[in-house]
Amino acid sequence: MGVNQSNRCLPIDGTSVWVKFEDDWFAQGVSRLAYRGTYHGDLELEGEMCVVKLYKEQWCEMLGEVAYKADIRASFKAHEMAQIFNRKHRTNKPIQFVLPKVSKIDNSAAFKFLGFIRIPRKVKGKLAGTKASATEMIPKGASVAIERYLEGEYVKFLSNSSYVNHNVAAFLPAAFSHFTFHESRGSILVCDLQGVRGQRSYVFTDPAIHSLNKGIGFYGPTDLGVFGMIKFFQNHHCNPLCRGFVTPDLSNIPRDAAADVNRVLQAIRVRNGSTFTHELQGTGVGLARLSQIQEMFVTSQTNGANTLIRSNTNAQGNSSRTRAIANPTASRRNIRRPTPIRRYLEALASLGSQASPR
């Protein structure tokens, strides 16, 4: 932990706990910069390390509170699914998710003094090796997500594009993702699992969730909807922990949507970095058509017609049944009025030129 902690956050959730954090970020993703910090204001937490994730200015300007609310929503939903998994499938390493807390920057040390002369403080800029003013990089009032610091080797186990880290011998992460699809009856799939595998548990942070009923992007910019689900199962190999989990029939995709679905799936490159919703439009399949295809699957799940997920036999010779999420008869229809999710996706698309794998 560095010694130059010049910045602090407002108390968290109305408690006495607040955080002080360093001037320079140590890691960054597409939407956030990560700073090392320490907890204060509580005897049990005093001095313990944490990570402060500051949302980048352009994301907050375009997306507002949605920029962090979707991330929080994903973390809490993943935590809920982990609790169910741990209860139903007792392993020697239960799964945990770090639950972020939202706060705002109370003050930052924007200036330093040379005698009586006030000089703007320079901190690490947006790019490594650059400098920028503290007021630009750490603005007062900016939203931050605060998480406990994970001790140990940080590992990316799998991404949201079906990448699996084969350098790590671990069945559990991929099986957990499969379980979330099975348990939710095809409504969600938790993925992008990264964190620390300790002696007693897996502790993950920053999960992605592909959602069906809520629409692409409901759980943030890494929610690829039904396209992310299909991509996962195109590359997933069931292991012994997947015994009895339902698996989808990928041949039962609506014929009038198959060509566009295939174009989108090809755009989701298998990589250890995250794939973002705006990348789905890089093949010429527009946002309206993406939403329309997603709606086909939602409608079919509601009506219980022509299953994408049938009574399939997985790699362990067990079968299960769930309801339909595909409907070949749900042909093109009028697109509904823009929803908050639609507007969110449009904003993400406009940020696409600034995006890179997190």
Q: What is the pLDDT of residues 76-108, one digit of tens each?
A: 999 999 999 999 998 999 999 999 999 999 986
Same domain? For 173 and 230 the reply is yes
- Provide the pairing of β-strand 95-97 with 202-205: parallel
Averaged pLDDT, 229-249: 93
For residue 128, the model assigns a pLDDT of: 82
Same domain? For 125 and 181 the reply is no
Q: Indicate the residue among 120, 149, 178 that finishes a domain.
A: 149
Same domain? For 109 and 182 the reply is no
Question: Does residue 130 carry a pLDDT above 80?
Answer: yes
Rounded Cα distance between 327 and 317, Å, is: 27
Sequence-ordered alpha helix ranges (H) in the chain: 57-63, 66-88, 134-137, 172-183, 225-235, 255-267, 287-303, 340-350
Q: 31 and 221 in contact (C-beta within 8 Å)? A: yes
For residue 116, the model assigns a pLDDT of: 54
Question: Does residue 353 carry a pLDDT above 60?
Answer: no
Question: Does residue 68 carry a pLDDT above 90?
Answer: no
Does 81 fall in a domain? no
Tokens found for residue 231: 């991509």
Same domain? For 123 and 184 the reply is no
Task: Report the percentage of the chain scoring pLDDT > 70.
Answer: 76
Averaged pLDDT, 182-204: 96
For residue 49, the model assigns a pLDDT of: 97
Q: Amino acid identity of 104? A: K
Which of the listed ranges 2-11, 45-54, 111-120, 318-327 does the model predict with the highest average pLDDT? 45-54
Does 87 fall in a domain? no
Does 283 fall in a domain? yes
DSSP codes, 20-74: EE-SS-SEE-SSEEEEEEEEES-TTTTT-EEEEEEEPHHHHHHHTTHHHHHHHHH
Question: Is 136 in a helix, a strand, or coil?
Answer: helix
Number of domains in the chain: 2
Query: Bigger pLDDT: 16 or 247?
Result: 16
Which residues make beta-bridge pairs with 52? 35, 146
Averaged pLDDT, 51-67: 73
Instruction: Please choose, from the candidates 300, 258, 274, the residue with its C-alpha nearest in 3D space to the C-alpha of residue 220.
Output: 274
Instruction: Please choose, from the candidates 343, 358, 278, 287, the residue with its C-alpha nearest in 3D space to the C-alpha of residue 63.
Output: 343
pLDDT band for 331, please (50, 70, 90 cuts): very low
Same domain? For 162 and 115 the reply is no
Does 89 fall in a domain? no
Q: 34 and 25 in contact (C-beta within 8 Å)? A: yes
For residue 325, the model assigns a pLDDT of: 39
Question: Does residue 201 carry a pLDDT above 90?
Answer: yes
For residue 332, the model assigns a pLDDT of: 34
Does 196 fall in a domain? yes
* Opening angle at CA 54, ends 180 and 280, nearest 5: 50
Does 29 fall in a domain? yes
How many helices (H) and strands (E) would you count in the chain?
8, 17
Q: 221 and 30 in contact (C-beta within 8 Å)? A: yes
For residue 18, the model assigns a pLDDT of: 96
Rounded Cα distance between 343 and 70, Å, is: 14
* Residue appearing with tokens 């190999």: 237
Q: Residue 93 CB: number of other CB atoms within 10 A?
A: 15
Predicted model pTM: 0.83
Query: Bigger pLDDT: 61 or 222?
Result: 222
pLDDT band for 64, please (50, 70, 90 cuts): low
Same domain? For 327 and 236 the reply is yes
Averaged pLDDT, 173-183: 97
Instruction: Please choose, from the candidates 114, 113, 110, the residue with its C-alpha nearest in 3D space to the C-alpha of residue 122.
Output: 110
The rounded mean pLDDT for the chain is 81
For residue 336, the model assigns a pLDDT of: 38
Rounded Cα distance between 348 and 172, Å, is: 32
Q: 91 and 172 in contact (C-beta within 8 Å)? A: yes
Q: 172 and 202 in contact (C-beta within 8 Å)? A: yes
Does 79 fall in a domain? no
Averaged pLDDT, 46-59: 88
- How large is the angle between the packed helices 340-350 and 287-303, nearest 10 degrees? 140
Range of the domain at 173: 150-358
Q: Residue 210 CB: number of other CB atoms within 10 A?
A: 28
For the domain that residue 234 is a member of, what is the CATH number?
A: 3.20.200.10
Task: Report the percentage of the chain scoring pLDDT > 90.
Answer: 52
For residue 175, the model assigns a pLDDT of: 97
Question: Does residue 293 carry a pLDDT above 70?
Answer: yes
Question: Is 17 in a helix, a strand, or coil?
Answer: coil
Question: How far is the CA of 39 from the CAs of 19, 50, 268, 329, in angstroms?
Answer: 5, 7, 39, 56
Averaged pLDDT, 165-186: 94
Same domain? For 271 and 343 the reply is yes
For residue 346, the model assigns a pLDDT of: 54
Query: Bigger pLDDT: 334 or 355?
Result: 355
Question: Does residue 327 carry a pLDDT above 70?
Answer: no
For residue 182, the model assigns a pLDDT of: 96
Q: 212 and 301 in contact (C-beta within 8 Å)? A: yes
Question: Does residue 66 carry a pLDDT above 80?
Answer: no
- Provide the pairing of β-strand 117-120 with 188-191: unpaired
Rounded Cα distance between 83 and 74, Å, is: 14
For residue 237, the model assigns a pLDDT of: 94
